[in-house]
Amino acid sequence: MFEILEKERIGPGVNRAVISAPAIAQAHRPGQFIILRTHENGERIPLTVADKDPEKGTITLVWQEVGVTTYYMGTMCVGEKLQDLCGPLGKPTHIEKFGTVVGVGGGIGVAPLFPITKGMYEAGNNVITIIGARTEGLLIMTEDMKKVSHETLIATDDGSFGIHGFVTQVLQGLIDKGTKIDLAVAIGPVPMMKATVNVTRKANIPTVVSLNPIMVDGTGMCGACRVEVGGKTMFGCVDGPEFDAFEVDFDLLMKRLAMYKGPELIALNNFRETPRGCQCTFPGGA
């Protein structure tokens, strides 16, 4: 169980792995996530299930190396096993035939956007996907997205691929040319989701975001994942991870996400000295 069956690098510091997890593959619905530990003393981290194959009993995880656990996972090989995988957690995405659904994915946010886009596509929606990254090398899953979208628009901040600009400019372009959008789903860095909401709010387009607060237990008991939505405290793990984007306090979310930057850096520096850490390439060439 939880054996890594396939693993590949799909971008700088971004990995994709197919994991044996039959029960989760059966029960998982778009929008839900898992919490894993790589080994007995490992921390618990949440990751969205990017894809699944219930017949084969596998799930696909896509992650970016940013902290100890994600770097550790980057060193794991086919045949190794994850210690624990708990899920599926969180509420599934509300999927129905809305009409035209625009999915906006930034950076690693494209991975959690994929199963939602697939669900919307299979429900008969006209699906337009906007994918963005800082530069061409950081674009992920573009071919996967094309398979579940009627139209896929790709933008890079530096113009190295596709449209030169931000996903928000592409979205504004769609609105300006009169595309009737019935629902927008935005997933990516918090500033990107906030900027997307600034565009959709003006155009009165209902918008859903999937939030990535710090999590510990993932079952509503610890309170680590508190987010403010519509002036109320909610738990990202059990009330979300998706919320009405117009109601989310993004500034508070950004502050909470930065709360443990210091300890995270210390932990990462300690990890560099371990056998696994020595296998990693850290930004800046460490």
Cα–Cα distance, 236 to 100 (Å, whole number): 27
Task: Give the interface segment with ligand FES, choosing from 101-109, 130-138, 216-224, 270-278 (CB under 6 A).
Answer: 216-224
Question: Which of residues 237 and 268 has its CB atom nearest to ligand FES in the complex?
Answer: 237
To the nearest 10°, report the CA torsion of 218, 89, 209, 259: 20
State yes or no: residue 220 binds ligand FES (CB under 6 A): yes
Between residues 154 and 248, which has the closer beta carbon with respect to ligand FES?
248
Is residue 43 involved in binding ligand FES (CB under 6 A)?
no
User: How many residues at the interface with ligand FES, by CB under 6 A?
Assistant: 13
* Contact with ligand FES (CB under 6 A) among 195, 225, 229, 268: 225
For position 247 contacting ligand FES by CB under 6 A, the verdict is no
Q: Which of 3, 80, 157, 217 binds ligand FES (CB under 6 A)?
A: 217
For residues 187 and 210, is the Cβ–Cβ distance under 8 A?
A: yes
Q: Which residues pair with 102 in a beta bridge?
A: 128, 184
C-beta of 117: minimal distance to ligand FES in Å?
25
Q: How far is the CB of 205 from ligand FES (least distance, A)?
A: 29
Stated as kind and residue range, the H or E segment containing 256 is helix 250-257
Distance of CA 141 to the CA centre of its chain: 12
Place of tokens 């930004």: 283
**Does residue 240 interact with ligand FES by CB under 6 A?**
no
- 222 touching ligand FES, by CB under 6 A: yes
Which 3 state secondary structure label does DSSP give 15?
strand
Neighbours of 221 (CB within 10 A): 11
Please report whether residue 257 would count as binding ligand FES according to CB under 6 A. Answer: no
Of the ranges 47-55, 91-99, 114-122, 223-231, which one interacts with ligand FES (CB under 6 A)?
223-231
For every residue of 180-201, DSSP letters joined together read --SEEEEESSHHHHHHHHHHHH
Q: Does 216 bind ligand FES (CB under 6 A)?
A: yes
DSSP for 221-233, written as a single string = SS-TTEEEETTEE
Task: Report which secondary-structure segment, H or E, holds 277.
Answer: helix 275-278
Q: Is 237 in the site for ligand FES (CB under 6 A)?
A: yes
The single-letter DSSP state of residue 83 is S
Among 218, 240, 241, 277, binds ligand FES (CB under 6 A): 218
**What span, in angstroms and rounded, lies between the C-alpha atoms of 268 and 82?**
20
Stretch that binds ligand FES, among 13-21, 120-128, 173-181, 210-218 (CB under 6 A): 210-218
Give the residues lining the site for ligand FES (CB under 6 A): 215-218, 220-225, 235-237
